[in-house]
Amino acid sequence: MQHKSTGRGRDVSRRGFLGGAAAAAPLLAPALALAGEAKPKRKIKVGLVGCGGRGSWIARLFQQHGGYEFVAVADYFQAVADRCGTALGVDKTRRFAGLSGYKKVLDTGVEAMVLQVPPYFLPEHARAAVEAGRHVYMAKPVAVDAPGCLQILALGKQATARQRCLRVDYQMPTHPHNIEVAKRVRDGALGPLAFAATFGYCRGFSDPPKQATIENRLRRLVWVNDVALSGDFITNYDIHAIDAALWVLGRRPVAAAGASRICRPNPHGDSRDVCSVLFEFDDGLFLNHTAQGLRNNATGTLDCHLYGLKANARLSYWGKAYVRGGTKHYGGGQVRNLYETGARHNIAAFHRNVAAGRFDNPTVPRAVDGALTCILGREAAARRRRLTMDALLRENRRLEVDLTGLKA
């Protein structure tokens, strides 16, 4: 799908949207030098599904790694698939379009699938790939509802049983400064934890009027405005910061309460522009999350802060990561260009795992916990009442998208 987002009064790419607050390094920096790895001994034949902004961009990073060969691509829009296929050197006969394009990619016999589609479609595409015996590299969030999350969790186990890799592309846990902060927090650097806070501030997305079909919602990140396609802002954008919190804490919350609302002028989708959610953990710890997606010149922020009785810590997508105070003080440093370097790390790890036969797929359970946590927060805030994780799972409510009139 073609992706483009909006910020500071002009249209920018998803890369610019996430990375605009940081000084970006050159996109063509050698991946092998960055990863510090030897040249791969063989190329994995891959197919790309979702050839828009993020998809075509990350495909170039796969190419630069040196261990992959793209042999097929698919996108809902034929022109987008053709443009990406040309850039990747994919034969014209293996550039597919329509909702079922991913099935045609599988039919070409690829070894691995790179899934970069709106989150609503990820469980369906991942299931087809795993059941066909393919390795899977997929975007976040893994699903927009609880049934989809549980399906991904089951697919992770199925992939392991079939000796296949399934990796979810999160970036914050890949940066050395964030890794060191997380290690020190787990080692007791903050003393007993008092509370945590996460922040997800962005400038929102273009939200044009709906048409006879949802075709115009499937490009330029317009789909982020639709809860059923994206999971809402909290699940699609804020999830980076919330995922970092769960990564450090090692568990997901048991309940949430909050409020959210739509503030943008002339909204056409149902995603909420602002939210405030209080997540509760089983030991009494709480996590306060606040977020906005408005064009009000607020600085782009994806941060996780943790406060203990002896010190405090920060993990960041862009900005400084540190531990302040206590006996395990860590001055840390700036997290820069994580949108790219984190993806490069995950691409290299995916290749290593496939080549070495490591199929434990550890990113899957945490990705599911992160998505479920954001869905819990979304539902609690929309209903403006306390909601437990157990109740959310019992509801097992599936979000549906009207695909009437779309090209099969």
Decide if pLDDT at 265 tops 60.
Answer: yes
Map residue 56 onto helix, strand or coil. helix
* Cβ 309 vs Cβ 190: under 8 Å: yes
How much of the chain is in helix, strand and coil states, percent to nearest 5?
A: 40, 25, 40
What average pLDDT score do residues 11-27 get? Answer: 37
The four Cα atoms 146, 150, 152, 153 give a dihedral, to 10 degrees, of 140
Residue identified by tokens 């522009």 is 273
φ/ψ region of 228 (left if φ > 0, alpha if ψ in -120 to 50, else beta) reads: alpha
261, two tokens: 């609302």
Q: Which tops the pLDDT comparison, 47 or 12?
A: 47
Q: What is the largest CA-CA distance in the chain?
A: 62
For residues 89 and 4, give the distance between their C-alpha atoms in angstroms, rounded to a whole number.
Answer: 23
pLDDT band at 7 (very low <50, low <70, confident <90, very high): very low
For residues 25 and 28, give the distance between their C-alpha atoms in angstroms, rounded to a whole number.
Answer: 9
DSSP per-residue string spanning 91-153 = -GGGEEESTTHHHHHHHTT-SEEEE-S-GGGHHHHHHHHHHTT-EEEE-S-S-SSHHHHHHHH
What average pLDDT score do residues 331-350 get? Answer: 97
What average pLDDT score do residues 31-52 get? Answer: 78
Which domains does the chain carry?
A: 5-170 (3.40.50.720), 172-356+365-395 (3.30.360.10)
pLDDT in tens, 275-328: 999 999 999 999 999 999 999 989 999 999 999 999 999 999 999 999 999 999
Q: Is the dihedral of CA 181, 183, 184, 188 positive or negative?
A: positive
Decide if pLDDT at 19 tops 60.
Answer: no
Decide if pLDDT at 260 tops 90.
Answer: yes
Of 139, 127, 122, 154, nearest to 228 by C-alpha is 122
- The mean pLDDT value of the chain amounts to 92
Q: Which tops the pLDDT comparison, 31 or 113?
A: 113
Determine whether 307 is exposed, middle or buried from the number of CB atoms within 10 Å of its CB (0-12, 13-18, 19+): middle
pLDDT band at 23 (very low <50, low <70, confident <90, very high): very low
With b for 16 or more beta-carbon neighbours within 10 A and e for fewer, the 367-378 pattern comes to bbbbbbbbbbbb
Decide if pLDDT at 13 tops 90.
Answer: no
Q: How far apart are the first and last CA of the chain?
A: 14
What average pLDDT score do residues 81-92 get? Answer: 98
pLDDT at 36: 57
* Cβ 14 vs Cβ 5: under 8 Å: yes
pLDDT band at 41 (very low <50, low <70, confident <90, very high): confident
What average pLDDT score do residues 119-146 get? Answer: 98
The C-alpha angle with vertex 221 and arms to 127 and 87, in degrees rounded to 5, equals 75
Decide if pLDDT at 58 tops 90.
Answer: yes
Instruction: Outline where DSSP puts E strands in 251-366.
Output: 255-261, 274-280, 286-293, 301-308, 312-316, 319-324, 330-335
pTM given for the model:
0.92
Percent of the chain with pLDDT over 70: 91
pLDDT in tens, 225-246: 999 999 999 999 999 999 999 9
294, two tokens: 């408005």
Decide if pLDDT at 357 tops 90.
Answer: yes
What average pLDDT score do residues 116-143 get? Answer: 98
pLDDT at 40: 87
pLDDT at 39: 82
pLDDT at 218: 97
What average pLDDT score do residues 113-137 get? Answer: 98
Decide if pLDDT at 3 tops 90.
Answer: no
Decide if pLDDT at 8 tops 50.
Answer: no
Of 320, 302, 347, nearest to 17 by C-alpha is 302
For residues 168 and 221, give the distance between their C-alpha atoms in angstroms, rounded to a whole number.
Answer: 20
